[in-house]
Amino acid sequence: MDTRSQDILYQSSYYYLGHFSRFIKRGDKIIGYECKTNDLLTLAAVNASGIVTAVVMNKKDVSAEFKYQNGDTNIPLSIPGRSIVTLIDDSIH
């Protein structure tokens, strides 16, 4: 909060937390994953139905290529610079 103007200032972390909480719910279990680059931040969780949610954040200014793999699922993807994407994998159903 700007104490002089009494305006609320939202930092980028406010939006990150909102994104994560929209897709990863209470009771979901954080699962292990392998990220082969330091340019991306990742978090994966599985819910009670077995649906995997993976959140990937590109912390660089340029787009990054990566591959999502889970069992037989193998998808090459690109993520724009300074962005977050969420992958919802219900391929086991």
Residue-level pLDDT at 10: 73
**What pLDDT shows up at residue 37?**
86
Give the tens place of pLDDT for each residue, 29-79. Answer: 999 988 888 899 999 999 999 999 999 999 999 999 999 998 888 999 999
> 12-89 — its CATH code?
2.60.40.1180
User: Which residues have CB under 8 Å from 14's CB, separation 6+?
Assistant: none
The model's pTM: 0.81
Q: What angle (nearest 5°) sits at the alpha carbon of residue 31, between those of residues 15 and 74?
A: 90
Q: How far apart are CA 27 and CA 38, in angstroms?
A: 28
For residue 93, the model assigns a pLDDT of 54
The pLDDT value recorded for residue 44 is 95
Tell me: pLDDT of 28 over 60. Answer: yes
Kindly tell me if the per-residue pLDDT of 17 is higher than 90. Answer: no
In which residue are the tokens 């103007």 written? 5
